[in-house]
Amino acid sequence: MKRRTVLGMAATVCGTVAAGCLGSTVAGDVVRNETPLELSHDYEIQGTPSGTRVVVDVTAKNGGESPITPDGRVPQLSCAFLNESEETLHQSGVQPVEPIDVSETASFEFSLGTRVDEVTRYELGVDWIDA
């Protein structure tokens, strides 16, 4: 095996072990939702060759009466990672790029790869914006 492959595998194993040893619980809430999207969410702490990261997976179901399209007025999903003092460590947002039909779902992912040991919670929000 090449040295680089072995080192990459070792880093992945160590990262996974470290992720499991963190033992921290990250709470998550939907704090704002102005849209017909019904959100379900979960998180995991992942070990990677470059370190540990927190990943929030969001499933958005269109519970409205009409399709949501990426034209005109669109939902923007945001995720803020916070520490124990409620300081925002990182915040990002995404918009659907494909239409979401009535009763259909779309998946979104948010991640944080720095200051992972400081994260105690995340907050999700969905706002209407003009595309």
- pLDDT, one tens digit per residue, over 43-54 is 999 999 999 999
Among 9-18, 56-65, 89-98, which is the least confidently predicted range? 9-18
- The token duo for 85 is 């003092």
Give the N- to C-terminal CA distance of the chain in Å, as an integer.
50
As a whole number of angstroms, the longest Cα–Cα distance in the chain is: 56
Considering the chain, what percentage of its residues have pLDDT values greater than 70? 82
Give the tens place of pLDDT for each residue, 115-127.
999 999 999 999 9
**23-29 average pLDDT score:** 87
Backbone angles phi, psi at 21, to 5 degrees: -85, -15
Predicted pLDDT at 15: 44
**Radius of gyration from C-alpha coordinates of the chain:** 17
User: Cα(56)–Cα(77) distance, rounded to whole angstroms?
Assistant: 12
Give the structural domain span for 66.
Answer: 3-130
pLDDT band at 11 (very low <50, low <70, confident <90, very high): very low
**CATH code for the domain in which residue 76 is found:** 2.60.40
Residue 24 has pLDDT above 80, yes or no: no
Number of domains in the chain: 1
